[in-house]
Structure 1
Amino acid sequence: MKKFEIQDAKDDDLKRISELMGLSLNIEEMHAIKRYFLLKRRAPTDVELQSIAQAWSEHCCYKSSKKILQKYIFGIDAPQSILAVKEDAGVVEFDEEHAYVVAFESHNHPSAIEPYGGAATGIGGIVRDVICMGAQPIALIDPLFFGPLDYSYEKLPAEVKHPKFLFDGVVAGISDYGNRIGIPTCAGMVYFDDGYVGNCVVNVGCVGIMKKSDLSRSIAREGEVLVLVGGKTGRDGIHGVTFASVELTGEEEFRSAVQVGDPITKEPLMHAILESNEKKLISGMKDLGGGGLSCAVSEMCHAGGCGAEIHLDRVKLKEEGLSAWEIWVSESQERFLIGTPEANVDELLAIFNKWDVDAVILGQTFKNLSPEEKASPKKLKIIYRGENIFELDTDFLVSCPLYERTMEIKARDEVEPLMGAPDDYNGTLKQLLAAPNIASREGVIRQYDHEVRASTVIKPMQGIIGKETHGDAAVIKPLEESYMGLAITSDVNPSYCNINPFWGAASAIDEVCRNLTAVGAVPQSFADCLNFGNPEKPDRMGDFYECCRGLGHMASSLGVPFVSGNVSLYNESAAMNESIPPTPAILGIGVCEDIRECVTVDLKEVGNLLYLIGDTKKEFGGSEYYKLRGVEGGLVPRTDPKVLKRSMDALLDTMKAGLVASCHDISEGGLAVAVCEMSMGGDSGVYIDIGAVNPELRSDYKLFSESNTRWVVEVPRAELGRFEALMATHDVCIIEIGTVITDKRVSISDNGTELVDISIDAVRAAWGNHLT
């Protein structure tokens, strides 16, 4: 143990201490620590300084973002919410007896340094977040963002890893970890943009199911025993949260900040915890993620209004020679902290012994440290090898300063540029189908076992076996005795957000809702992973503010709450001298009343009619069509939550009435790409005429517009009257555009003038697997 005499330290001395110890604290924060210890009339130990740095890191306390989140994201009331943004994961009502649990996190910096391990431990951490609520994990989600896979090596700085290396490592890490613990990875997205070359973005989500009566909170109460369970503690993951709270430099010295996952330990650990919780042996628990024991102990004790005495030398170690502060802040994986009454300890330890999982009594909680210190009940004390090395008030530990950063909200020029119509629509459509952000993700999806647990009733790939296409959302049947289902999807278009953060974020909510509705689910909850650049730069903070405002505008208008989420800042590369595009990734969960009534993307029957739902506009800012044509600027698609809600209700009513054979939302690539994807999945041809689609627009605008709140639906010819009548009662725009045909071709005309005529085989060849 070392002590630092900071009582008389000058600013330069305080800065040097922060840099030397890797605290990532600024001078104002170091002054706050100095004042605290001046009042205590003693010098801080290295363990105490490291513990404060973990608790006050951007990653743990949201010091730059919390005030904006409180204004726009938190507090959207909804009757289905049980716990929203109050714990490691959100808890939402599923049925009278059960709840589902949602967690959504980022693992960006670790994945940029060591892609396999960073992504794998991202999955491990998000699974722990769900387990510590008392839930059984049932689904994994992975929105991923990389630079172009064909990025020139000549343009790549030496300290930056190539996007293809990062992509392969991240996908392998997620696959290996998720497959080994037996949880299906059934939803996600992969997006490519030059802005992610220096800093990839790896977001991971998990959904779980539980009985409401099994809900566990991250609270320690006075008079309890604290038990550390799971993997051994090592030097991996040290300074993980402080490393994630600064810009990336690409230096290999940070590799030790990346944790090392162990899915083989996670599997029995998961069973031991769920069994102990079911037997009511656990009164509170928290996973050891960011900040390790330091954050877990302080946060649980503070939540329960108690103090604790910890015996740090009882922690089982991976290796000899760890100092006390390394043990305390290590983020080694597969560990939980459990609070339990003393009477339950023997039975609890016996369960973990049965599952061959390590469990040690770490310490105990108390109301008062001693009779003389009744005024300071919430105090943490650490004993290590007989010496008192740590004594801090939890109120101070969790009193992270909150900032109102300077913001610059940039003026947006969204004037549509002049551009001629394409000469060859066939060639243009095939090029769009092959575009990196549209082409098949089957090479990624097939690496994940999305069938494990045998509850994925609608898969991420949908259609005739061997001919599958991308689905809009996966559907899980979480309970054996019920036909209710959970629909899961994840979406954002960073190109929209880069041009207009407000409408780009609003569009992400629109797309999530479209995808859930497309399978027959009612959107019920959101989780957000907000990935942005350095908040100390005003333009980055302005983008963050506008994205939050857009998300809040949509979610509050729809009455759908954000129940969980994460903010990841400092996603900038010093070597590339640039920030990532604003990336507010959204995870959406919807409830299906009866999975037997769910709808898939693939076309079903020759002779059925195709309808376009929604208005098509000249909105091409950030579109794949403009990228293909080499055109910049343009208007980012707008959305109206009232129109979205009305359209979703109408479409869901037609689905409940059995009037919809297939459905697909319209997103990247517009109407033409959506129709092609439906045709591939059903291995069926289509003929459509777009003459009635906004007659004021040019043909290419009708085909490739990415306007929000639109779907293509397939309706049996015998039901067209009922379908049109039901949609009319909701005042929703629908246009009959074509039919499913016998000839396996995609044929598109505009008022009888042929634009596109391509065989489905040619469509599939253009769209086929370009990512591996």
Structure 2
Amino acid sequence: MIEKVLKKVDVPFPLYQIDIINSDDEMLKAISDELGLSLSVDEMRRIKEYFIAKGRNPYDIELQALGQAWSEHCCYKSSKYYLKQFIFNIESEYVISAIKEDAGVVEFDEDHAYVVAFESHNHPSAIEPYGGAATGIGGILRDVVCMGAKPVALIDPLFFGKPDFPHSVLPKGTKHPLYLLSGVVAGIRDYGNRVGIPTVSGMIFFDNSYLTNCLVNVGCIGIAKKSNIVPSRAGGEDDIFILAGGLTGRDGIHGVTFASAELKETSEEESRGAVQLGNPIIKEPLIHACLEVIEKKLITGMKDLGGGGLSCAVGEMALAAGFGARVFLDRVPLKEPDMAPWEIWVSESQERMMITAKPEMVDEVLYVFEKWDVPATVVGEVKAEKTLEVYYKDFKVYDMDIEFVTSGPEYCRSYLPKKVEVKGEERINPPKDYLRVFKDMLQHPNVASREWVIRQYDHQVRASTILRPLQGRINRETHGDSAIIKPTESWRGLAITADVNPWMTKIDPFWGTASSFDEMIRNLIAVNSKPHSFVDCLNFGNPEKPERMGEFVESVKAMGWMARGINLPCVSGNVSFYNETPHSAVAPTPTLLGIGIIEDIRNAITSYFKRVGSSIVLVGETEAEFGGSVYSAVTGQKSYLVPRTSPERLKTYSDAMLESFKEFKVLACHDISGGGLAIAIAEMCFGKGLGAEIDLRGIAGDAHVKLFSESNTRWIVELPEEDAQGFIAFLMERGCRAFEIGCVSKDSISFNDSNIAFEMGVSEAEELWRNGLSRYVV
């Protein structure tokens, strides 16, 4: 349809001028659709007005650049309004840089900062799970390196349809969850292991809302000297742009516009080219070379070429410094010789960095990259005027005001908050067979051991993983609450956790998000670390639908309420919209990555029981809150009462717990989350093969509530028998509740209450738990 508005330019390469000045709304929409811009008619009208003012029509490369820069993925046009209202600008004396750069930068100690980034790679992973996940890891590593930090840890929260979903009824164009799971894990494994960065934290969650649109979230934490922090901007006029790393090809074209639209049956065929091709073998020397030029103070700025490729990186670096840029595309090293200028400009080929340096430093920068056997080429320069000029074979193919390109639209989209009907006090029935329910919970895919996944990652490479994701006996470990990394020579450490409960957010986005935030804090507290900062990866459906936008707004509102209440800054993040297909939208998934500081890693607390006879203490208050719980799923009962929390209560308990760890010899600590108290006790038993005798008769309430409720702000603590009552009194004095509920035993796990009692051998329970996921994949 758009052939009549295309005019081939008389140059010896593919270049078209597009007549949008004389195009009506129908033609503007056709131009956007056929060029893969994913821009609305209103946005195309705005571009039309800009070129009318310039007195000319755009070239194809200029429209393609605007499609990238104005995509949901790049300019956050649907989310900025609400993020600024609820999430941004939480004060903290430790934050060095938040939100504005490629990654958050937070003080670690007097000389060092940690750098943290969190992104999604959902659509590419749904199309090509191995490559999509691998390049997600590659991209998040670059986000951290470009700030001047050495990567020290990777994090990977993953979300799929149920593993037992019948093949016969898979929606057309959909890959089975087990195929996606295996491919994604292999991609993360191969890339992370080959680069040599440990994957230390993450999660896996199964729900059929992810059946046609899996979610692959990836995070990275790095460490840097404060003096080496590099901005994602140029240094000044006449700086030289140097493109370093991999060659530029047709892989990854339209990656950000592909990520800014719903998936459909034909996405695999139509959008496979939008999936980048990763190369971890070049990534490691690229990291070393980047860190060397930073250490030697040879450069003024650095930015990774992620979403939008050159089209976004160059203009953003120049404008952030208050300048413009001039780029020569024929200097860009290519994988394929016949690429059109627009393809070179918007390609998202992997393993590339854009660097700015003073002219007198260029030769030394190029020498460092040559020494590491990494291609590096001068491709442009910074100029005074805030415009971006792009040349190809001496012909100017692009000339636009950078502020127009990077400003992008911002919407205050209408939204419809979800109304959750909780009529009075919900009545969730007790099970007829407590032991059967306990067994079903242990082997539920959302509870069972993730050992099959974790052991594929080299989570100990670089020998700085102090507290590993698996803790306890060698080869028979249980889950930890947070990993701990020792990033410098001091005893100070970083605790890392990733958390969200999509079953809860699906029922109630506000309280589900607040509960996920509570769990993040609980996991950091459990290992004896003080919560220090967090980042988010917000995965939602189509924001143009008020119901989906309502889920987003309620989630960020809850997150902001909790974060401000305990003064925990959000230092970086990502919004991933359009995680939706004609089959369904994903459950609201505001994934949280929490970072804590532990002053001395030698005081870290692990999650498993240590010795027979020690006392077991429950900390916190238990209510009949079953919305989104494993108990509801296993028993088939509907509950809409998602567990409540508050920042005030969370802070009171968290502060008291950290104080108590200094006063008492705590042998083990584990937060209570999926499956409630019963599952938390079992997981603590598995790490050393010990048992537990639990007696709940001293606590008011129904047995099934005490055993299976997933109320927030609760932990299980193991202490020497002689310290238990002192520990309880210590917490009570600080406004907290705690109860001694039993002791560590030898061979079995037993639960007793007024009207019920059941028991199970540790080895039998452990076998169910260990095989709950692996039975589907091994």
TM-score between the two structures when normalised by the length of structure 1: 0.97
Partner residue in 2 for 1:258? 275
Q: Look up the SS of the partner of 2:17 in the other structure.
A: coil
Other-structure match for 2:692: 686
Contact 1:315 1:360 in 2 (8 A): yes
Give the distance between the partners of 2:76 and 2:728, measured in 1 at CA.
49
CA contact 2:672–2:714 (8 Å) conserved in 1: yes
- Worse-matched range after superposition: 652-661 or 699-708: 652-661
* Aligned counterpart in structure 2 of residue 732 of structure 1, from 728, 733, 736: 736
Q: 1:237 to 1:521 in 2, by over 3 A?
A: same
User: Which string of whole-angstrom CA distances, capped at 9 and with x for unpartnered residues, describes residues 95-125 of structure 1?
Assistant: 0110000000000000000000000000000
**1:348-374 deviation per Cα after TM superposition (whole angstroms, max 9, x unaligned):** 00000000000000011111xxxxxxx
**What corresponds to 1:700 in structure 2?**
704
CA distance in 1, matches of 2:602, 2:410: 49
AA in 1 matched with 2:246: G
Q: Which moved more, 1:649-658 or 1:308-317?
A: 649-658
CA distance in 1: counterparts of 2:19 and 2:537, whole angstroms: 40
Q: 2:464 aligns with which of 455, 463, 466?
A: 455
Question: Contact between 1:142 and 1:189, CA under 8 Å: does it hold in 2?
Answer: yes
Which of the residues 373, 379, 384 maps onto 2:392?
384
- Match of 2:135, SS? helix
Task: Tell whether 2:219 aligns with 1:205.
Answer: yes
2:596 aligned with 1:590? yes
Note the alpha carbon deviations across 1:217-276, whole angstroms, 9 max, x for none.
011121100000000000000000001000001422200000000000000000000000
Match of 1:761 among 752, 760, 763: 763
Q: Aligned partners of 2:654, 2:426: CA distance in 1, in Å?
A: 32
**2:270 counterpart of 1:236:** no
In structure 2, what is the Cα distance between the partners aligned to 1:587 and 1:157? 32
How big is each residue's C-alpha offset from its partner over 1:149-190, in whole Å with a ceiling of 9 and x where there is no partner? Answer: 111112212211111111110000000000000000000000
Match of 2:109 in 1: 95
In 2, Cα distance between equivalents of 1:153 and 1:287: 40
- Matching residue within 41, 47, 55 for 1:41: 55
Give the aligned partner of residue 359 of structure 2: 342
CA contact (8 A) 2:209 2:587 kept: yes
Matched, 1:24 2:38: yes
For the 8 Å contact 1:380–1:390, the answer to whether it is kept is yes
- SS of residue in 2 equivalent to 1:360: strand
Alignment of 1:69-468 (within 5 A): 69-220=83-234, 221-251=236-266, 252-367=269-384, 377-415=385-423, 418-468=427-477
Q: Letter of the aligned partner of 1:326 in structure 2?
A: E
The 5 A counterparts of 1:517-556 are 517-556=525-564
CA contact (8 A) 2:245 2:351 kept: yes
Whole-angstrom distance in 2 between the partners of 1:264 and 1:144: 24
| CA–CA distance in structure 2, aligned partners of residues 732 and 417 of structure 1 | 26
Q: Secondary structure at the match of 1:472?
A: coil
Report deviation, 1:411: 1.4
In structure 1, what residue type is equivalent to 2:479?
H
Amino acid aligned to 1:351? V
Secondary structure in structure 1 of the residue aligned to 2:461:
coil
Q: Please report how far the alpha carbon of residue 658 of structure 1 lies from its aligned counterpart in structure 2 after TM superposition.
A: 4.1
Shift of 1:754: 4.8
CA distance in 2, matches of 1:313, 1:770: 55
Give the secondary structure class of the aligned counterpart of 1:158.
Answer: coil
Match of 1:640 among 646, 655, 665: 646
Looking at structure 2, the residues matched to 222 and 87 of structure 1 have their Cα atoms a distance apart, in angstroms, of: 21
**Residue 371 of structure 1 aligns with which residue?**
none
Match of residue 373 from structure 1: none
| Structure 2 match to 1:370 | none
Corresponding position: 1:62 with 2:62: no
| Distance (Å, rounded) in 2 between the aligned partners of 1:510 and 1:572 | 27
Deviation of the 1:729 alpha carbon: 2.7
Contact 2:664 2:723 in 1 (8 A): no
Query: How far 1:425 sits from its partner (Å)?
Result: 1.4
Are 1:493 and 2:501 matched, yes or no? yes
In structure 2, relative to structure 1, the CA distance for the partners of 1:240 and 1:460 (3 Å cut) is same
Shift of residue 417, structure 1, vs aligned partner: 5.3
SS of aligned partner of 2:16: coil
Alpha-carbon displacement from aligned partner over 1:536-561 (angstroms, at most 9, x marks no partner): 00000001000000000000001001
Aligned mates of 1:360, 1:764 — CA distance in 2: 56
With 426-435 and 229-238 compared, the bigger mean Cα shift is at 426-435
| Structure 1 residue 423, shift from structure 2 partner | 2.3
Question: Aligned equivalents of 1:721 and 1:349: distance in 2?
Answer: 66
CA displacement at 1:13 relative to structure 2 = 1.1
AA aligned to 2:621 is D
TM-score (ref. length: structure 2): 0.96
1:627 to 621, 630, 633: 633
CA distance in structure 1 between the aligned counterparts of 2:664 and 2:30, rounded to whole angstroms: 69
Give the secondary-structure state (helix, strand or coil) at the position aligned to 2:93. Answer: coil
Residue 752 (structure 2) aligned to one of 740, 749, 754: 749
Distance 1:61 1:385 in 2: 31
Q: CA RMSD for the aligned pairs? A: 1.0
The DSSP-based 3-state class of the residue aligned with 1:275 is helix
Equivalent position SS for 2:590? strand
**Distance (whole Å) between structure 2 residues aligned to residue 658 and residue 477 of structure 1:** 24
- Structure 2 CA distance, aligned partners of 1:593 and 1:725? 26
Deviation at 1:419, TM superposition (A): 4.6
Deviation, structure 1 residue 427: 1.5
CA distance in 2, matches of 1:340, 1:467: 52
How far, CA to CA, are the matches of 1:265 and 1:277 in structure 2?
18
Tell me the equivalent position of 1:676: 682
Which SS does the other structure have where 2:218 is aligned? strand
Compute the displacement of 1:721 (Å).
Answer: 4.3
Equivalent pair of 1:76/1:560 in contact (CA under 8 Å) = yes
Corresponding residue of 1:615 = 621
Identity of matched residues, %: 55
Distance 1:78 1:630 in 2: 44
Structure 1 Cα separation of the partners of residues 382 and 130 of structure 2? 38
* Structure 1 equivalent of residue 722 of structure 2: 718
Q: Is the 8 A contact 1:417 1:631 kept in 2?
A: no
Aligned partner of residue 264 in structure 1, secondary structure: helix
Q: Give the C-alpha shift of residue 12 in structure 1.
A: 1.0
Amino acid at match of 2:452: G
Instruction: Please give the secondary structure, in 2, of the residue aligned with 1:534.
Output: coil
Q: In the alignment, what sits opposite 1:510?
A: 518
Partners of 1:553 and 1:691 in 2: how far apart? 36
Task: Give the Cα–Cα distance (whole angstroms) in 2 for the partners of residues 768 and 119 of structure 1.
Answer: 25
AA in 1 matched with 2:394: G
How many pairs align? 756
Native 8 Å contact 2:327 2:389 kept in 1 = yes
What amino acid is the match of 2:200?
A: C
Partners of 1:4 and 1:560 in 2: how far apart?
49
- Give the match for residue 13 of structure 1: 27
- How far off is 1:651 after superposition? 1.1
Distance 1:70 1:531 in 2: 18
Residues 442 and 769, structure 1, Cα contact 8 Å, conserved in 2: no
Partner Cα separation in structure 2 for residue 441 and residue 769 of structure 1: 9
Write out per-residue CA displacement over residues 446-502 of structure 1, whole angstroms, 9 at most, x where no aligned residue. Answer: 0000000000010001111132111100000001x2000000000000110011100
Q: Deviations over 1:682-716 (max 9, x none)?
A: 211110101123x1x21111100000000000011
